[in-house]
Amino acid sequence: MGLTSHKVLALSALISVLVVAGTVWVWPRLAKRSWAAVFGRLGTIVGTQLAVMCTLGLVANNYFAFYSSWDDLLGTGNDGPVTIQSQLTAGKGHQGVQQISNENVRGANTVGRDPLVVGKLEKIRIPGASTGLSTEGYVYLPPQYFQPQYKDKKFPAAIAITGFPGDAKNLITKLNYPSTELQLIKDGKTNPTVLVMMRPSPAMPRDTECEDVPNSTQAESYFAKDVPQAIRSSYRVAEGTGSFGVIGNSTGGYCALKLAMKHPDVFSAAVSLSGYYKAADDATTGDLFAGSKDRRNQADLDWRLANLPKPAVSLLVGGSKEGDGDYYPATKKFIAAAKGSETKVAAITLDTGGHNFNTWSRMLPASLGWLGQHLNVPA
């Protein structure tokens, strides 16, 4: 029986009920002053707690789609290469960043700390010159950035955005963006790219959905204008259309698609891993649109494809057929709506995979490779 099977949930619930009933039944017999009785009481308490917690865990997993299978939960699933299905074949003067500290580039293929060999990872604060916003993040500079033959070269860059309310450090410790990028460069599967790793909201604890909220946080402008300006004024990052991309998971995936579709002059390519297609509306977001239906429509990517000129951008959407809620049917609808237009959509489709880091890690190498190949590399 699969992890998300209703039979597994029903069996777990039945076991929980039986364990609780059994504890009530035997408790009077354990009301003795002996070591055996003490250990018996402890055993029944622990057993009851474990049974109930397992049932609650299954309920939460089925609702939020964290893990789609036992292999997904245990990390023993298929970790082979993934395939990208292309729509084409299948149908200065700005305020710079503040460096906070240097970090180690982790990973099996990053032995040593020489920037010429492994690149450099810096913790930074990125100020918003036009919005007044500011948030911490990380920047990864590839080895070529420090090599003498590239001393006059400017590099393409990509903003990587995690899910809400995730920490930007998750992109390093759980998804291994820097070490994945480094290995792709070594294997010749991508172009050296500066990675800027961030959380999706510059106004925590509110989830802004990368939206310019009326009379409030201008998160969209921060990501689309302030961050590229700050990065370009602090690092050797190329100017012009095609030099910046954006990638993200979950909320970050939605942000990536929306930023590219609304600002194709800034972001020529975007990757969404288990992202969605319209802004969330819950207690963490509040009213993002001040009651405006037009503003809400503008943030609905399906609505944009159906009602506005389709932007000339390259998009990659990645996720699973089973295990991640309505991701697959929603993505098929999105791809169909873009077909035959200037909005080129490619896809990574896993058979199974939950809404979690294990699933995104499986897709990340192919996704980062695709993104690097879709950014302009200055001569």
What residue ranges do the domains of the chain occupy?
6-64, 84-373
Q: φ and ψ at 152, to 5 degrees?
A: -105, 5
Element housing 84 (H / E): strand 84-85
**Which of 106, 61, 53, 66 lies closest to 274 in space, CA to CA?**
66
Helix axes 177-186, 357-373, angle to 10 degrees: 40
Distances from the Cα of 151 to the Cα of 113, 140, 180, 299, angstroms: 19, 17, 23, 41
What's the pLDDT at 331? 96
Fold observed for domain 84-373: Rossmann fold (3.40.50)
- Antiparallel, parallel or unpaired: β 344-352 and 314-322: parallel
Report the relative pairing of strands 194-198 and 134-141 from DSSP bridges: antiparallel
pLDDT of the residue at 83: 47
Q: Which residues of the chain have pLDDT under 50?
A: 63-65, 68, 72, 79, 82-84, 86-94, 108-111
d(CA 282, CA 313): 30
Q: What pLDDT is attached to residue 69?
A: 56
Alpha-carbon distance of 62 to 60, in angstroms, equals: 6
Contact, 213 vs 219, CB < 8 A?
yes
